[in-house]
Structure 1
Amino acid sequence: MKQSSAKQYAFSDAEYEELRRIIEQSVGIALASGKRDLVYGRVSRRVRALGLSSFAEYLARLRKGDQAELEELVNAMTTNVTQFFRESHHFDYLRETFLPEMVQRHQRDRVIRIWSAGCSSGEEPYSIAVVMAEFLDAHPGWRAEIWATDVDGAILRQAEEGVYPMESLKDVSQERLRRFFLRGKGVNEGKVRVGKSLREIVQFQRVNLIQPWRIRQSFDAVFCRNVIIYFDRAHKKQVVEGFADHLAPKGHLFLGHSESLHGLTDRYQLIGKTIYRRRD
């Protein structure tokens, strides 16, 4: 049995494999064998925070069904790298093609619904909200609803607060900054907060994509970018099929730049760069 050297805690192969299984079963993240040091670094912080003396004690706690700690583990292992208007071509398509089509199609209820799945700290859904707010200025009587979800409860609380360092808005125009964001003063100098008009459009909720979804409504589009890349094939298929079930006719799915539906499902048509439309 191998153990890591020069580390505070012993970390056996068996312990690593058990943690890999727990993480995959909990959130669908399939960790390669080369992620051992990453797992050690993130989980050892939890071992230390709980005042435990070993990974064995930590695993014993998880085996006893400590759901609060399981959520902490998920939070620790979830990668949250994002920014405003990341992969800008998606927002160009949203403004120039998708929203005009929706206005033509939704003459009855006049509500456009978008799901940001794997929303991380909120930059994606708030970017969507900016584009929708600008577009709907010219279409009075229309409403936008954005449902933003993530498996990481801590990052969702941060997203709901909507406070960001100024440098994270480097791709946001001055006009948009003035209209949609509040600049911090005093102790909050160098920070901005998303304005009320955007925060009212976005609803945040914790959702684990590989567990059953309690969703009754359909969506015109789903943004799930740079999320399924971490799943194994079975979970990828499960998630994108689930999105198809919850998309309205001709609904759109936006994926990340390294993601593809090739070989996973035939329920979508590729219509742009990592932009798919549900086949009806």
Structure 2
Amino acid sequence: MSTLSKAVITDDDFQKFREYFYRKTGIHFDDTKRYFVDKRLQERIEQTDSADFRDYFVMLRFQAQGDELQKLINIMTVNETYFFREEYHFACMVKAMLPELVKRKAPGEPIRIWSVPCSSGEEPYSIAIYLQEYWPDIAQYDVEIFASDIDTTILDQARRGQFSRRSVQNLPPPLLEKYFTPAQGGQHFDLKDDLRGCIDFARVNVTEASDTRRFRKVDLIFCRNLLIYFDDHSRRLAAEAFYDAMSPGGFICLGHSESMSRISGLFKVRKFTDAIVYQKPLTGEKVQS
């Protein structure tokens, strides 16, 4: 197909695709995202040599391996992040949440932290750096950090551990020097191997029970700025998945514009000095309405 003749996406096409994508991912595109969606659909129609939207949509739905759906997910999801973003959550982690969590840990029992969506890796690597630099008890505990995203391309990027100057701009210079090696004349920074190897990355759709089943006894979840892309039903599914994955007394951090209280009654609100977070009640404890 010529790049001068883009496939026409009708209102009916947009509605069909929006419903299909929502069923597969839990992500809802409202009408304000129409241009964004149309542009990416037109790119995939062209790149797959499909005749038009109908031809492409039939292939998308009936492709056995689902490779095209994954490619579409990769270009439809937003990956905007940087190191130490919303740092107050990390400060709350080392000052308040972890000291409370370890009181309930048996000797040798690991601390599990889950970053979702992890995008290109800035958040889980920030967690690892913050723990090493600012949690005085890090040497006493085995900490496991899991990171997941629905976008396989961005996960590959995260595993490589190469970041732009913009991504690391909020890191204090001593930490940048300690954990990174400059590359391409200082235009990029490569994460050092010892830190890069401490994160377990996986492709996960949080609205699919089969994807989230592997996460159990998680003590702390960072899920910041994901739920704003979901509708109420998908938000509740995600909240229930997180609840099932968490240990009693575990914490979840949301983005500054998100509120678990408006999504689910499963969690209680905890107000610490540095941040407001949400907690799975201890066994036998009830959430106050």
For normalisation by structure 2, the TM-score amounts to 0.88
Partner of 2:56: 58
Unaligned runs of 5+ in 1: 1-5
Q: Contact 1:117 / 1:224 at 8 angstroms: preserved in 2?
A: yes
Partner of 2:21: 23
| Residue 242 of structure 1, CA deviation | 1.5
Partner of 1:3: none
1:107-256 matches, within 5 Å, as: 107-135=106-134, 138-184=137-183, 187=184, 189-212=186-209, 213-215=212-214, 217-256=216-255
Q: Name the stretch that deviates more: 40-49 or 259-268.
A: 259-268
| Residue 239 of structure 1, CA deviation | 0.8
Q: Contact 2:110 / 2:144 at 8 angstroms: preserved in 1?
A: yes
| Residue 38 of structure 1, CA deviation | 1.0
Where do 4+ consecutive residues of structure 1 move more than 4 Å? 135-139
CA distance in 2, matches of 1:255, 1:138: 25
Give me the CA root mean square deviation.
1.9
State the one-letter code of the partner of 2:158: A
Q: Contact 2:115 / 2:148 at 8 angstroms: preserved in 1?
A: yes
CA distance in 1, matches of 2:247, 2:181: 35
Partner of 2:103: 104
CA distance in 1, matches of 2:90, 2:143: 15
CA distance in 1, matches of 2:74, 2:198: 25
1:92-113 CA distance string (max 9 Å, x none): 1112112223333324125221
Unaligned runs of 5+ in 2: 283-289
1:112-157 CA distance string (max 9 Å, x none): 2100111111111111111112245654342221100000000100
For normalisation by structure 1, the TM-score amounts to 0.91
Partner of 1:76: 75
Count residues in correspondence.
273
Partner of 1:33: 31
State the one-letter code of the partner of 1:245: D
Partner of 1:277: 279
Name the SS for the 1:169 alignment partner: coil
Q: Contact 1:136 / 1:142 at 8 angstroms: preserved in 2?
A: no
1:45-78 CA distance string (max 9 Å, x none): 1112212232122112113235000111111111
